[in-house]
Structure formats: structure tokens, C-alpha cells
Amino acid sequence: MKKHVNGILKVLVALSVIGCSSVVKNIESTNEKDCENKKGYWYKDKCWDYTSKSIPVTYIDTYVAKSLKEIKDLSLKFNGKEIPFDNQEAIFAEGETVLIFSSFKNKGKEEMLVSTLNFNSIGKSSFKVPVKYYDQNILPLLEQEKSTEEILSHVIAEGTLKGSTKEVNGKAKIDLSGTLDGGNISYDFSYSFLEDLISMGTTTFEVKGDEAYLNGELGLKTYTQMKNLVKDHPEVKTIVLGIVPGSVNDLINVHTGRILRENKLNTKALKNSFIASGGVDLFLAGVNRTVEKGAQIGVHSWCCYEDKTARELPKDFPAHESLIDYSNYCLGKEYGEKFYFYTLEAAPFDNVHFMTEKELKEYHVATKIID
């Protein structure tokens, strides 16, 4: 599991540092108004050359709804005919690879394209993406842990499509096009997916009595699921985090945590739980936070602002602001900022430190530890 988490972290790092190379610097200014006039960012009594990417509370619902609609509105061209996607889902693999599962109806039958994207390629003017075309949706087969041989028996065609990346409304859009070889038949495809697809997450909630069991990588989907949960299941008092290895969008994750706290929900980690990175951030949002002995609670630094890891940034640099504010919101000022900077030193961005029982108590991450 630790190796898998590191793979996710590397993918997120690749997303963060594409096309970036700069230095952290101040703008000479003595007050906030003057700083704003110079198009700077005022933080900790200094004017910084910085643009905040935080999403305001007043805009978060609009942002999420717009992102989900943009993903839903995507379609593909199959042998020149435009067909809507039934669904697109991103699943992180090992290393710097993510698999994009795109399902669609062809003559009434559900079929699927699986694109293997390596994040080292993004940012190049063109690149190649291996793609397999299946005669059915293979996600249920993967969930049933069917053999590789059985899954591959459903391949209709395969090959590499030409890929390119461009920016649309401030977000990355990846276009793929080309021909897949099916032996006696060739298939022409042209389709796209958006950066937000990678930010969707893979979470599921299962309600059992007054508890909701959460598993998967946190993202856009989780925010919507949490809002629906508190609306549709007022009986739920506790979110039980199972395998939650991280978040694919920290800007969204802090708002998911805010919903959890505003609704006065508790959080719980079981003895076999694995919670890391953004999963720990969400755990902090619980009013009461119970940890069973044996649970793995993993923290680390983050990467990157431009080409610098969080450890390399000055402590008064505004890129820390959002997560400091969130930590203070969850833990109070006595523990919040202290905990945040502890995570930066606990492990580098591409590794994980599992908190000891002493640390869980010291930083008030757990309000109760039980056998």
C-alpha cells in the first residue's frame, strides 16, 4: 500500500510542476493597499509575487457543478460519428501512470476505451498514448479480480493514439486521435479528457446505521457525495475512513472537510484503516476523532509551488495559507498551524510517515484512541 501511495504522490507532483520554473520573491511594499495596486498578494505583513488558487466558499458549488458538467459534455468520434460518453473515470496506477476508462454505447452495446497516460508526457507538443478498445466495460471485471488473460480476451483493437495538451479556461485538456488495429478491421477514434477528470477521485460511501464508511481517493466526486450524504442521511453521525490514501484535489478537499465539520459529524479510523495525505486532512474535520490502535495515519510534505516543495518555501509564504487556515479551523489555533508544519518535516512529499500514538495525541489528531 505504501508503494501505491507513493505512485499517486508522484503523479500529483507531475501535475503540479509542469511548465513551472521560478523563484519565490517579495514585492517592495509597506501596506496591503499598495501591495494590491502593485498586483501583489499581502500575507504576514509582506507583499508577495503570488496568485492564490484557493476556491472561495461562495464559489465552490458553482465550480464543482461546472467542472462536472464539462466532463459530462465530452464526447468521442468513432469512425467519424460523434457518440456521447456514458462515463469517464481515472484510476491511478503505479509510478507516474494513470488509466483513463471511457465507456460509450455502440449500436446499443456498452464498450470501453482504456488510455494509459504517463504524466512525463504532458506539456510536450505531442506524445503517444497506448489505448485498448474493449467490447465491454471492464471495470466490473477488475472489481471481480478476473485474470489478466480473461480481461484481455475482450480486446477488440489496440495501438497508440497521438496526444496533445492545450489549456482551456485555465485547465488542461488532453486530445487523442488516431487509428487502432483490430486485425482485419481498423477503428478511427478522436476524443478528449479534461484535467478535472483526474481530480474526480474514486470515493464510495456506504451507510450502515449512524455511520458512513468512506473508501477511495478524495476529489470532486467526494465533495458532491458528502453534500448528498448530509442531506439524504441525517441519521449519520460518524464518517468511518477505511482505505483513503489521499486527495487528488486539495483545493476541493478542504471544502469537503468544511461540510463535514459544519454538520458536526465525527470521524473514525478502524484498526485496519489506511489514511494518508489528504485523507488525514479530511479526518481532522471530525468534531470527535476516534482512532483504533493499528490504524495507519500517514502524513508528508507537499509539492509543489512552482518548482519548490513546501519544505523549501519560507514559513510566511502564502502558499501555506490555505492549509494552515484549514488546520486551524479543524484543530484550533493551539494545534492547527503546529500540526501543519510538523507534516512538512515528518516526511518528504514522495514518502509517508505514519504517526505514532504519541504524535496523534500531541497534535490532537485523535481525540480518542481505543483498542
pLDDT digits (tens, 9 = 90+) for 309-332: 999 999 999 999 999 999 999 999
Of 185, 195, 138, residue with least CA distance to 157: 185
Asked if residue 267 is part of any domain, the answer here is yes
Q: Tell me the C-alpha distance between 293 and 371, whole Å.
A: 5
Co-location of 238 and 176 in the same domain: no
State the Rg of the chain over Cα.
22
Give dist(CA 144, CA 147) in Å, integer.
9
Domain that holds residue 150: 69-198
- Given 198, 231, 266, which residue is the final one in a domain? 198
Number of independent structural domains in the chain: 2
Choose the final residue of a domain: 198, 220, 238. 198
What percentage of the chain exceeds 90 in pLDDT? 76
- Residue 342: its H or E element: helix 336-346
> Do 187 and 238 fall into the same domain?
no
* Position 11 confidence tier, pLDDT thresholds 50, 70, 90: very low
pLDDT tens digits for 204-256?
A: 999 999 999 999 999 999 999 999 999 999 999 999 999 999 998 999 999 99
Query: Looking at the domain assignment, is residue 359 inside a domain?
Result: yes
Asked whether the whole model's pTM tops 0.85, one would answer no
Whether the Cβ atoms of residue 303 and residue 313 lie closer than 8 Å to each other: no
- 124, pLDDT greater than 80: no
Residue 168, all three cell numbers: 482551456
